[in-house]
Amino acid sequence: WRSIYGSGSPEIKTEVERLFEYTCWLHGCKSSSACFPTMGALEKHLWEDHSRKFCHTCLLGRRIFLHEQLMYCDEDLGRHKRDGDGPHVLGKALPALPAHADCEFCKKSFYSRDVLLDHMYRRHHLCTLCERAGRKGEFYRDYGYLSTHYEEMHHVC
CB within 8 Å of 145: residues ≥ 6 apart: 125
Average of per-residue pLDDT across 42-69: 95
Name all contacts of 67-75 with Cβ < 8 Å and 24+ positions apart. Answer: 67/19, 67/23, 67/25, 70/97, 71/26, 71/46
Q: pLDDT digits over 4-39, tens only?
A: 555 667 888 888 888 889 999 999 999 888 899 999
Residue 1 confidence (pLDDT) above 70: no
Q: Give the CA count within 13 Å in the CB-facing half-sphere of 84.
A: 14
pLDDT of residue 75: 92
Residue 3 confidence (pLDDT) above 60: no
Q: pLDDT digits over 84-139, tens only?
A: 999 988 989 888 999 999 999 999 999 999 999 999 999 999 999 999 999 998 99
Distance CA 49, CA 64 (A): 24
